[in-house]
Protein backbone atom coordinates (compact mmCIF):
# COMPACT_ATOMS: atom_id res chain seq x y z
CA UNK A 1 0.00 0.00 0.00
CA UNK A 2 2.17 2.93 -1.23
CA UNK A 3 -0.26 5.57 -0.04
CA UNK A 4 -0.03 4.24 3.52
CA UNK A 5 3.78 4.20 3.46
CA UNK A 6 3.83 7.69 2.01
CA UNK A 7 1.47 8.92 4.69
CA UNK A 8 3.55 7.25 7.40
CA UNK A 9 6.74 8.82 6.03
CA UNK A 10 5.14 12.27 6.01
CA UNK A 11 3.99 11.80 9.58
CA UNK A 12 7.50 10.75 10.59
CA UNK A 13 9.06 13.77 8.92
CA UNK A 14 6.55 16.04 10.57
CA UNK A 15 7.23 14.55 14.00
CA UNK A 16 10.99 14.97 13.50
CA UNK A 17 10.51 18.66 12.77
CA UNK A 18 8.47 19.29 15.91
CA UNK A 19 10.61 20.96 18.61
CA UNK A 20 8.76 19.26 21.49
CA UNK A 21 5.67 17.22 22.28
CA UNK A 22 3.67 20.27 23.30
CA UNK A 23 4.28 22.20 20.07
CA UNK A 24 1.35 20.57 18.24
CA UNK A 25 -1.14 22.25 20.54
CA UNK A 26 0.25 25.67 19.56
CA UNK A 27 0.84 24.89 15.89
CA UNK A 28 -1.46 26.66 13.41
CA UNK A 29 0.17 25.98 10.01
CA UNK A 30 1.26 22.83 8.21
CA UNK A 31 4.95 21.84 8.39
CA UNK A 32 4.95 20.67 4.76
CA UNK A 33 3.06 23.36 2.84
CA UNK A 34 2.27 26.08 5.41
CA UNK A 35 -1.41 25.38 4.89
CA UNK A 36 -4.09 25.94 7.49
CA UNK A 37 -4.63 23.21 10.10
CA UNK A 38 -8.12 22.00 10.91
CA UNK A 39 -9.16 20.03 14.00
CA UNK A 40 -11.47 17.08 13.33
CA UNK A 41 -13.11 14.61 15.67
CA UNK A 42 -9.92 12.79 16.59
CA UNK A 43 -7.11 14.36 14.56
CA UNK A 44 -5.49 17.60 13.39
CA UNK A 45 -4.84 17.73 9.64
CA UNK A 46 -3.86 20.18 6.90
CA UNK A 47 -6.61 21.50 4.65
CA UNK A 48 -4.24 21.83 1.68
CA UNK A 49 -2.15 18.65 1.54
CA UNK A 50 -3.99 16.40 4.01
CA UNK A 51 -1.02 15.86 6.33
CA UNK A 52 -2.14 14.47 9.69
CA UNK A 53 -0.21 16.49 12.28
CA UNK A 54 -1.74 14.97 15.40
CA UNK A 55 -4.31 12.33 16.24
CA UNK A 56 -6.13 11.20 19.35
CA UNK A 57 -6.25 7.45 19.89
CA UNK A 58 -7.92 7.50 23.31
CA UNK A 59 -11.58 6.48 23.40
CA UNK A 60 -13.13 8.54 26.17
CA UNK A 61 -16.47 6.74 26.06
CA UNK A 62 -17.55 3.77 28.19
CA UNK A 63 -16.14 0.33 27.50
CA UNK A 64 -19.63 -1.19 27.43
CA UNK A 65 -22.48 -0.97 24.94
CA UNK A 66 -26.15 -0.34 25.66
CA UNK A 67 -29.13 -0.57 23.33
CA UNK A 68 -31.78 1.24 25.38
CA UNK A 69 -32.08 3.76 28.21
CA UNK A 70 -32.80 1.10 30.85
CA UNK A 71 -29.69 -0.88 29.98
CA UNK A 72 -27.60 2.29 29.84
CA UNK A 73 -28.75 3.35 33.31
CA UNK A 74 -28.09 -0.12 34.69
CA UNK A 75 -24.54 -0.25 33.33
CA UNK A 76 -23.59 3.32 34.16
CA UNK A 77 -21.19 3.64 37.10
CA UNK A 78 -21.34 7.42 37.45
CA UNK A 79 -23.93 9.65 39.06
CA UNK A 80 -26.05 12.39 37.61
CA UNK A 81 -24.37 15.65 36.53
CA UNK A 82 -24.18 18.52 38.98
CA UNK A 83 -27.20 20.80 39.04
CA UNK A 84 -28.07 24.08 40.73
CA UNK A 85 -31.53 22.71 41.50
CA UNK A 86 -30.15 20.87 44.54
CA UNK A 87 -28.76 22.72 47.53
CA UNK A 88 -25.52 20.70 47.42
CA UNK A 89 -25.48 20.64 43.58
CA UNK A 90 -26.10 16.89 43.68
CA UNK A 91 -22.64 16.04 45.02
CA UNK A 92 -23.76 14.32 48.22
CA UNK A 93 -24.75 10.67 48.50
CA UNK A 94 -27.98 9.23 49.78
CA UNK A 95 -28.64 5.99 51.66
CA UNK A 96 -31.22 3.88 49.85
CA UNK A 97 -34.61 3.68 51.54
CA UNK A 98 -34.97 -0.05 50.86
CA UNK A 99 -33.99 -2.32 53.76
CA UNK A 100 -32.13 -4.84 51.59
CA UNK A 101 -28.52 -5.86 51.16
CA UNK A 102 -26.49 -5.90 47.96
CA UNK A 103 -28.05 -9.19 46.87
CA UNK A 104 -31.63 -8.04 47.45
CA UNK A 105 -32.08 -9.97 50.68
CA UNK A 106 -33.98 -8.48 53.61
CA UNK A 107 -31.98 -7.05 56.50
CA UNK A 108 -32.31 -8.26 60.05
CA UNK A 109 -34.22 -6.13 62.56
CA UNK A 110 -31.00 -4.97 64.18
CA UNK A 111 -29.45 -3.91 60.86
CA UNK A 112 -32.72 -2.28 59.77
CA UNK A 113 -32.78 -0.10 62.88
CA UNK A 114 -29.13 0.75 62.37
CA UNK A 115 -29.73 1.96 58.82
CA UNK A 116 -32.74 3.99 59.91
CA UNK A 117 -30.50 5.87 62.34
CA UNK A 118 -27.90 6.29 59.60
CA UNK A 119 -30.49 7.74 57.22
CA UNK A 120 -31.58 10.20 59.88
CA UNK A 121 -28.03 11.42 60.48
CA UNK A 122 -27.29 11.44 56.76
CA UNK A 123 -30.27 13.74 56.22
CA UNK A 124 -29.11 16.02 59.04
CA UNK A 125 -25.56 16.27 57.75
CA UNK A 126 -26.66 17.08 54.18
CA UNK A 127 -28.38 20.19 55.54
CA UNK A 128 -25.87 21.06 58.23
CA UNK A 129 -26.89 24.70 58.79
CA UNK A 130 -29.77 27.13 58.35
CA UNK A 131 -28.50 28.31 54.95
CA UNK A 132 -28.61 24.79 53.51
CA UNK A 133 -32.08 24.19 54.92
CA UNK A 134 -33.28 27.50 53.49
CA UNK A 135 -31.84 26.66 50.09
CA UNK A 136 -33.25 23.14 50.13
CA UNK A 137 -36.75 24.41 50.88
CA UNK A 138 -36.58 27.22 48.29
CA UNK A 139 -35.26 25.02 45.49
CA UNK A 140 -37.96 22.48 46.25
CA UNK A 141 -40.56 25.25 45.88
CA UNK A 142 -39.07 26.38 42.56
CA UNK A 143 -39.10 22.82 41.24
CA UNK A 144 -42.70 22.26 42.40
CA UNK A 145 -44.03 25.48 40.86
CA UNK A 146 -42.05 24.95 37.66
CA UNK A 147 -43.49 21.46 37.25
CA UNK A 148 -47.03 22.72 37.88
CA UNK A 149 -46.71 25.43 35.20
CA UNK A 150 -44.72 23.36 32.71
CA UNK A 151 -41.69 25.66 32.92
CA UNK A 152 -38.56 24.32 31.13
CA UNK A 153 -35.77 22.98 33.31
CA UNK A 154 -33.38 25.66 32.03
CA UNK A 155 -35.64 28.42 33.40
CA UNK A 156 -35.90 26.63 36.76
CA UNK A 157 -32.11 26.42 36.93
CA UNK A 158 -31.90 30.15 36.18
CA UNK A 159 -34.36 30.75 39.02
CA UNK A 160 -32.19 28.71 41.37
CA UNK A 161 -29.14 30.81 40.45
CA UNK A 162 -31.12 34.01 41.10
CA UNK A 163 -32.24 32.72 44.49
CA UNK A 164 -28.68 31.75 45.39
CA UNK A 165 -27.56 35.28 44.57
CA UNK A 166 -30.29 36.72 46.79
CA UNK A 167 -29.20 34.41 49.60
CA UNK A 168 -25.53 35.35 49.20
CA UNK A 169 -26.35 39.08 49.26
CA UNK A 170 -28.46 38.66 52.41
CA UNK A 171 -31.78 39.74 50.87
CA UNK A 172 -33.85 37.11 52.69
CA UNK A 173 -34.27 38.66 56.18
CA UNK A 174 -37.80 40.02 56.48
CA UNK A 175 -38.98 38.07 53.41
CA UNK A 176 -40.57 34.64 53.21
CA UNK A 177 -38.83 31.77 51.45
CA UNK A 178 -41.97 31.12 49.40
CA UNK A 179 -42.17 34.76 48.31
CA UNK A 180 -38.55 35.01 47.21
CA UNK A 181 -38.59 31.65 45.44
CA UNK A 182 -41.75 32.71 43.57
CA UNK A 183 -40.10 36.00 42.63
CA UNK A 184 -36.96 34.21 41.42
CA UNK A 185 -38.98 31.86 39.23
CA UNK A 186 -41.02 34.70 37.73
CA UNK A 187 -37.85 36.69 37.01
CA UNK A 188 -36.32 33.66 35.30
CA UNK A 189 -39.44 33.18 33.18
CA UNK A 190 -39.39 36.84 32.19
CA UNK A 191 -35.73 36.58 31.19
CA UNK A 192 -36.45 33.45 29.13
CA UNK A 193 -39.47 35.04 27.43
CA UNK A 194 -41.92 32.48 28.82
CA UNK A 195 -45.46 33.95 28.70
CA UNK A 196 -46.68 33.39 32.25
CA UNK A 197 -48.31 36.07 34.37
CA UNK A 198 -47.96 36.69 38.10
CA UNK A 199 -51.60 35.65 38.48
CA UNK A 200 -50.84 32.20 37.06
CA UNK A 201 -47.79 31.86 39.27
CA UNK A 202 -49.79 32.88 42.34
CA UNK A 203 -52.25 30.02 41.74
CA UNK A 204 -49.50 27.42 42.26
CA UNK A 205 -47.53 29.39 44.85
CA UNK A 206 -48.10 29.37 48.60
CA UNK A 207 -48.41 33.18 48.65
CA UNK A 208 -50.94 35.62 47.25
CA UNK A 209 -50.65 37.94 44.26
CA UNK A 210 -49.71 41.00 46.30
CA UNK A 211 -46.79 39.37 48.09
CA UNK A 212 -45.57 37.84 44.82
CA UNK A 213 -45.44 41.23 43.06
CA UNK A 214 -43.77 42.91 46.04
CA UNK A 215 -41.13 40.20 46.31
CA UNK A 216 -40.49 40.32 42.56
CA UNK A 217 -39.99 44.08 42.47
CA UNK A 218 -37.72 43.91 45.50
CA UNK A 219 -35.63 41.13 43.97
CA UNK A 220 -35.25 42.83 40.59
CA UNK A 221 -34.34 46.15 42.21
CA UNK A 222 -31.77 44.79 44.65
CA UNK A 223 -30.07 42.40 42.22
CA UNK A 224 -30.43 44.77 39.24
CA UNK A 225 -31.72 41.93 37.08
CA UNK A 226 -31.95 42.63 33.33
CA UNK A 227 -35.66 42.01 32.78
CA UNK A 228 -37.48 43.42 29.75
CA UNK A 229 -41.06 44.73 30.08
CA UNK A 230 -43.72 42.07 29.42
CA UNK A 231 -44.74 41.85 25.77
CA UNK A 232 -48.48 41.27 25.11
CA UNK A 233 -47.60 39.57 21.82
CA UNK A 234 -46.03 36.67 23.73
CA UNK A 235 -49.43 35.72 25.19
CA UNK A 236 -51.37 35.68 21.91
CA UNK A 237 -50.39 32.20 20.58
CA UNK A 238 -51.15 30.42 23.86
CA UNK A 239 -54.57 32.00 24.38
CA UNK A 240 -55.41 31.71 20.68
CA UNK A 241 -54.80 27.98 20.97
CA UNK A 242 -56.97 27.72 24.09
CA UNK A 243 -59.79 29.67 22.44
CA UNK A 244 -59.42 27.59 19.26
CA UNK A 245 -59.62 30.62 16.98
CA UNK A 246 -58.56 30.59 13.34
CA UNK A 247 -55.12 31.57 12.08
CA UNK A 248 -56.66 34.66 10.50
CA UNK A 249 -58.02 35.80 13.87
CA UNK A 250 -54.67 35.24 15.54
CA UNK A 251 -52.91 37.19 12.79
CA UNK A 252 -55.36 40.09 13.12
CA UNK A 253 -54.88 40.09 16.90
CA UNK A 254 -51.14 40.41 16.46
CA UNK A 255 -51.61 43.28 14.01
CA UNK A 256 -53.89 45.09 16.46
CA UNK A 257 -51.36 44.68 19.26
CA UNK A 258 -48.46 45.83 17.10
CA UNK A 259 -50.42 48.97 16.21
CA UNK A 260 -51.27 49.52 19.88
CA UNK A 261 -47.67 49.05 21.01
CA UNK A 262 -46.46 51.57 18.43
CA UNK A 263 -49.02 54.05 19.77
CA UNK A 264 -47.98 53.37 23.38
CA UNK A 265 -51.32 51.91 24.50
CA UNK A 266 -49.55 49.06 26.30
CA UNK A 267 -47.77 51.38 28.73
CA UNK A 268 -49.04 50.67 32.24
CA UNK A 269 -51.52 48.06 31.00
CA UNK A 270 -51.62 44.38 31.95
CA UNK A 271 -50.19 42.38 29.01
CA UNK A 272 -52.68 39.53 29.41
CA UNK A 273 -55.58 41.99 29.34
CA UNK A 274 -54.29 43.51 26.11
CA UNK A 275 -53.79 40.09 24.53
CA UNK A 276 -57.32 39.03 25.53
CA UNK A 277 -58.83 42.26 24.17
CA UNK A 278 -56.88 41.91 20.91
CA UNK A 279 -58.17 38.38 20.39
CA UNK A 280 -61.74 39.48 21.08
CA UNK A 281 -61.42 42.48 18.75
CA UNK A 282 -59.88 40.31 16.03
CA UNK A 283 -62.73 37.80 16.33
CA UNK A 284 -65.21 40.64 15.74
CA UNK A 285 -63.29 41.77 12.67
CA UNK A 286 -63.15 38.24 11.23
CA UNK A 287 -66.80 37.48 12.09
CA UNK A 288 -65.83 34.66 14.44
CA UNK A 289 -68.27 33.69 17.17
CA UNK A 290 -66.38 34.58 20.34
CA UNK A 291 -67.97 36.23 23.36
CA UNK A 292 -66.40 38.36 26.06
CA UNK A 293 -67.46 35.80 28.66
CA UNK A 294 -65.56 32.99 26.94
CA UNK A 295 -62.45 35.13 26.55
CA UNK A 296 -62.69 36.24 30.18
CA UNK A 297 -63.00 32.67 31.48
CA UNK A 298 -60.10 31.44 29.33
CA UNK A 299 -57.65 34.26 30.02
CA UNK A 300 -58.76 35.01 33.62
CA UNK A 301 -59.28 38.67 32.71
CA UNK A 302 -62.44 40.54 33.72
CA UNK A 303 -64.96 41.47 31.05
CA UNK A 304 -64.66 45.14 32.05
CA UNK A 305 -60.94 45.09 31.26
CA UNK A 306 -61.57 43.34 27.96
CA UNK A 307 -64.17 45.96 26.94
CA UNK A 308 -61.93 48.89 27.85
CA UNK A 309 -58.86 47.55 26.06
CA UNK A 310 -61.02 46.41 23.14
CA UNK A 311 -62.34 49.93 22.57
CA UNK A 312 -58.84 51.41 22.72
CA UNK A 313 -57.50 48.95 20.15
CA UNK A 314 -60.44 49.42 17.78
CA UNK A 315 -60.11 53.21 17.95
CA UNK A 316 -56.49 52.91 16.86
CA UNK A 317 -57.54 50.53 14.08
CA UNK A 318 -60.15 53.00 12.80
CA UNK A 319 -57.72 55.92 12.99
CA UNK A 320 -55.06 53.94 11.15
For the stretch 54-91, what's the b/e string if a residue is b when 16 or more beta carbons lie within 10 angstroms of its beta carbon?
A: beeeeeeeeeeeeeeeeeeeeeeeeeeeeebbbbeeee
End-to-end C-alpha distance for the chain, whole angstroms? 78
Contact 184, 166 (CB under 8 A): yes
Distance CA 303, CA 295 (A): 8
**Can you list the alpha helix ranges (DSSP code H) found in 85-232?**
109-126, 130-149, 153-168, 177-192, 198-204, 209-223
Distance CA 229, CA 212 (A): 17
46 is in an annotated binding site: yes
User: What DSSP state is assigned to residue 43?
Assistant: E
Residues with Cβ within 8 Å of 21's Cβ and at least 6 positions away in sequence, in order, are none
Task: Locate the DSSP E strands across the chain.
Answer: 37-39, 43-46, 52-55
Distance CA 123, CA 120 (A): 5
**C-alpha pair distances (Å), 163 with each of 90, 104, 132, 180, 219:** 17, 41, 13, 7, 9
**Residue 196 falls in which region: left (phi positive, over 0), alpha (psi -120 to 50) or beta:** beta
3-state DSSP helix/strand/coil % of the chain, to nearest 5 = 60, 5, 35
156 is in an annotated binding site: no
Nearest to 133 by CA among 100, 177, 171: 177
Binding residues for Zn(2+): 30, 33, 46, 49
Residues placed in the known binding site: 30, 33, 46, 49
Amino acid sequence: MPSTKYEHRRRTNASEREPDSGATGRQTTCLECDGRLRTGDDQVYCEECGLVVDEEQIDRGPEWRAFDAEERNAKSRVGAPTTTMLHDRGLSTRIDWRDTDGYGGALSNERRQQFRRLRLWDERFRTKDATDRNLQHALGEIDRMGSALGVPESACETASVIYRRALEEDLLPGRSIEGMSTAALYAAMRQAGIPRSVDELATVSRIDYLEATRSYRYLVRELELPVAPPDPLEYVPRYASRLEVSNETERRARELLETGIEAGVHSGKHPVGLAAAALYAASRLTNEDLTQGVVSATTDVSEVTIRNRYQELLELELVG
